[in-house]
Amino acid sequence: MEKKLQIKNPDEFLKFLDCNSKISDSSILEVTSDKISSLASSADNTLILQSEYTADTGFNDTLNIPDLKKLYRVIDTIQSEDITLQVNSNNIEYNGSGIKFKYHLFDEGFLSKPSLNLDKINSFKFDITFTISKDIIQQVFKGSTFASETNKLYFYTDNGNIMAELTDRARHNTDKFSISLGKADFNLNPIPVNFDNIRLLSIINNDITVNINTEYGVIIFDIEQSNIKLKYIISALTQ
């Protein structure tokens, strides 16, 4: 049976590849009849990305991608609003719009998935939930140019507001930048995360839903944009 991957929105598919490439160079893409999914982990395992891209494939397969950035670059050369990729036993092939390429895959079993029990994480009770607007997250990124001596971002509540604060509470005389993310009907003691992980959220220009499990120090950032679903699972830092 011929296996054809229909990419009806190349820009979104490229964003899907780009998001995963920021976490790991290579990836196992799980293809089912209606979506492509991936699970990526940072080198220190403090960040996991579970991602999905809605696509009309009509087949089930596992694609072991050696270099996501390389695949991104070659697909980006195609100037078409609708792309059909031919999936062969050990490569992905394209022939159209005056362009031909053949991208070779790793053999099955060469890559391994991150060791993560997603069912356990999904069963967690997340006692804190709030939304960060795309405009405010951009203000946080701008504030990081001021509070450049730290790589920690704290979430906490203060006077009925949920706050984001760039500083390092374990060090003296560290510059501080704080911004209100909105009203809060809950209490949250300061919980820090690695700001480098937060920078990755700027790839998708949408609002972000934040879920925090204060018992285990697990924070999940959910982002959806049309055909893309991203779930960033981040472990909190020590104070």
Task: Fill in the DSSP letter of residue 73.
Answer: H
Residue 61 identity? D
Q: Can you tell me the distance from the alpha carbon of 43 to that of 66, in angstroms, rounded to the nearest whole number?
A: 16
| End-of-domain residue from the set 86, 109, 132 | 109
Residue 147 and residue 61 share a domain: no
| CATH number of the domain that residue 61 is part of | 3.10.150.10
Q: pLDDT below 70 — which residues of the chain? A: 239
Residue 124 and residue 46 share a domain: no
Residue 141 and residue 93 share a domain: no
Strand partners of residue 85: 5
In a 3-state reduction of DSSP, which class is residue 235? strand
**Residue 114, domain member (yes or no):** no
Model confidence pLDDT, tens digit, residues 112-143: 888 777 777 777 889 999 999 999 999 999 99
pLDDT of res. 125? 87
Model confidence pLDDT, tens digit, residues 157-181: 999 999 999 999 988 888 999 999 9
pLDDT of res. 239? 67
- Kindly report the number of other CB atoms within 10 A of residue 147's CB atom: 21
- Kindly report the number of other CB atoms within 10 A of residue 107's CB atom: 9
Confirm whether pTM is higher than 0.85: yes
Secondary structure (DSSP) of 183-229? E-SS----EEEEHHHHHGGGGS-S-EEEEEETTTTEEEEEEEETTEE
- What is the extent of the structural domain holding 206? 120-235
| End-of-domain residue from the set 109, 143, 175 | 109
